[in-house]
Amino acid sequence: MKVREIAEKLELTVYSGHSGLDNEVIGGYVSDLLSDVMGNADEGQAWITLQNHKNIMAVASLKDLAAVILVKGLKPDEATMMHSNEENLPILGTDAETFETAGALFKLLHP
């Protein structure tokens, strides 16, 4: 499923990386530990996290993740959004908690 469709169905805010909205999402990964994501996430996954600093983009782009979803109403800062635009890697956001967000994404990808 494309990032665009996930953003619509889960009513996520698209903060940046609009040019990557057609990235294909093949799964999700939930973690707030960067070296856990580095070691264990897979290409094409949407990463759900509460970390919103610039290093999330380094990790997401190095791992070829499809998108980053920020929970709890957290917003990315300017530098993070610029990096997201450069990498065509969308940062999305929701006011919902991690549990609800992961559950909704799982249901969407595994109907």
Partner 1 sequence: MGAMEFRYEVEGGNFSKAGHASSAVKKILKQLNVDARIIKRVVVALYEGEVNVVAHAHKGHILVNINEDEIGISIIDQGPGIPDIDLAMQEGFSTASAAVREMGFGAGMGLPNMKKNTDNFEIESQVGVGTTVRMTTRLS
What binding mask, one character per residue, do residues 67-86 give for partner 1 by CB under 8 A, x or -?
Answer: ------------x-------
Q: Which of 15, 30, 63, 90 binds partner 1 (CB under 8 A)?
A: 63
Structure tokens at 48: 């759900």
Phi-psi sector, 69: left (phi>0), alpha (psi -120 to 50), beta: beta
Structure tokens at 6: 């996930």
- What is the C-alpha to C-alpha distance for residues 101 and 88, in angstroms, rounded to an integer? 22
| Binding flag, residue 35, partner 1 (CB under 8 A) | yes
| Binding flag, residue 103, partner 1 (CB under 8 A) | no
Q: Which of 22, 43, 97, 100 binds partner 1 (CB under 8 A)?
A: 43
- Residue closer to partner 1, measured from CB, 22 or 79: 79
SS3 92: strand
Which part of the chain contacts partner 1 (CB under 8 A), choosing from 2-10, 19-27, 62-70, 97-105? Answer: 62-70
Structure tokens at 40: 């264990």
Q: Could you tell me which residues come within 8 angstroms of residue 77 by beta carbon, excluding any fewer than 6 positions away?
A: 52, 53, 54
List interacting residues with partner 1 (CB under 8 A): 32-36, 38-39, 43, 49, 51, 53-55, 58-59, 61-64, 79
